[in-house]
Amino acid sequence: MRIIYGCNTQGQGHLSKAAALVPILRGWGHDVYVVSSGPESLQGYVFEKHLHVPGLEYVIQDGQTDYQATAAKWARSIPKMVGSLLKVKALVRSFRPEAIVSDFEPFTASPMLGADCLVTSVSRQVTLCDPEIPSPEGMDFDRRLARTTIRLFLLGSDRQYGYHYEPSTWRSLPPIIRPELASVTPSVGEHLFVYNFHHCHLQRADELVAWANSRKQLVKCYGFMNEKPRGREGMVEFCQPGRDELLFDLASARAVITTAGFTLPIESYLFAKPTSVVPIPNQWEQLTNAFHLENAGMSKHLIDWDYDAAMRVPVPVENEGLRVWLRTPAEVVLRQILR
């Protein structure tokens, strides 16, 4: 079967899923063409058949999505977006896909694409719009604005599935957990694992160093790239980004504190680590992630970077059914998407 796989390149989540799923599709004998849009940097990901076009990018200020600036940027980029849509339409005409899978990529799920095949949108963002999945109270304006923006990326899809932390509705899909996780044996070390790549005004690297030194607590920190060189300062080791090294440091941590993203809290939970998540301020998507994670019993929602509180969080309660669901093989997830 000829398949177009659409992928947003803002952040690593969509690209990492494409890197996991596209080889499986090709291994099954499908002819797969990847269409990506967003920032030009593909962060080292390489696909055999690939078209990249300029896309709709969010504006991030101080670690937060600036929706007003994002709307203004999108308005200015309309001519460029028309050009991107025409390029994708031309590919559809020449490639003649029999299915399109779109991971929060607006052109492959556009109602103006004119594809004569089933279009399936599958992303974490679909879950944020699922009416059967509750969201936290407050931030009403941000919630409406975020959901309106997300729906613009899904308009032309025939079916929608959302990656989620637990099987809440028939639209919920298990996250794609990379297979390397199964090859790492967790252990209980002495270090606090800190993950913060967002320039958040509620937290500074010097504050972390001062806390660690005062408590004589070893810390392995991923983040603060613009504040600290990589290496040891006091009790804190500022680590060079790298997925393999990060995975081993996560698996051997005593406790974990991280922003409320999607993948890392799941990996931490599967390693049975006491985990705290701190949503980026005024970021409704992260607030919702923290809400869902705490409801699922996977982590503790903290409102700020309280390292003492993070060290007191207990080991998550064993839930073998949830762990099995989270570890659902990517092949099983793909079959549900394509059925």
Instruction: Classify 179-326 by CATH class.
Output: alpha beta
Q: What is the mean pLDDT of residues 226-247?
A: 90
Residue pLDDT, tens place only, 242-275: 878 999 999 999 999 999 988 899 999 999 999 9
Identify the band that residue 38 occupies on the pLDDT scale cut at 50, 70 and 90: confident
Distance CA 47, CA 313 (A): 41
The residue type of 36 is S
Q: What is the pLDDT of residue 199?
A: 55
Which pLDDT score is estimated for 273? 97
Whether the predicted pLDDT of 121 surpasses 80: yes
pLDDT at 200 over 60: no
Region 124-132: mean pLDDT is 93
- Strand ordering across the sheet containing 118-123: 50-53, 31-37, 2-8, 99-103, 118-123, 159-163, 172-173
Q: What is the pLDDT of residue 202?
A: 60
- The ranges assigned to domains in the chain are 2-163, 179-326
What pLDDT is stored for residue 140 in this prediction? 87
What pLDDT score was predicted for residue 233? 94
Asked if the model's pLDDT at residue 11 lies above 70, the reply is no
**What is the average per-residue pLDDT within 32-39?**
91
pLDDT computed for residue 58 by the predictor:
65
- The residue-averaged pLDDT of 70-95 equals 84
Give pLDDT, residue 63.
Answer: 55
Compute the distance between CA of residue 142 and CA of residue 282 in angstroms, rounded to an integer: 8
For residue 149, the model assigns a pLDDT of: 83
45, pLDDT greater than 90: no
Q: In terms of CATH, what superfamily is 2-163?
A: Glycogen Phosphorylase B; (3.40.50.2000)
pTM comes to 0.88
Q: Token pair of 330, please?
A: 């990517």
**Same fold for the pair 2-163 and 179-326:** yes
**Residue of higher predicted confidence among 55 and 337:** 337
Helix, strand, coil shares, percent, the chain, to 5:
40, 20, 40
Do residues 274 and 315 lie in contact, with contact meaning Cβ atoms separated by under 8 Å?
Answer: yes
Task: Please state, rounded to an integer, the average pLDDT across all residues of the chain.
Answer: 90
pLDDT in tens, 262-311: 889 999 999 999 999 999 887 888 999 999 999 999 999 999 999 999 99
3 state DSSP class of 270:
helix
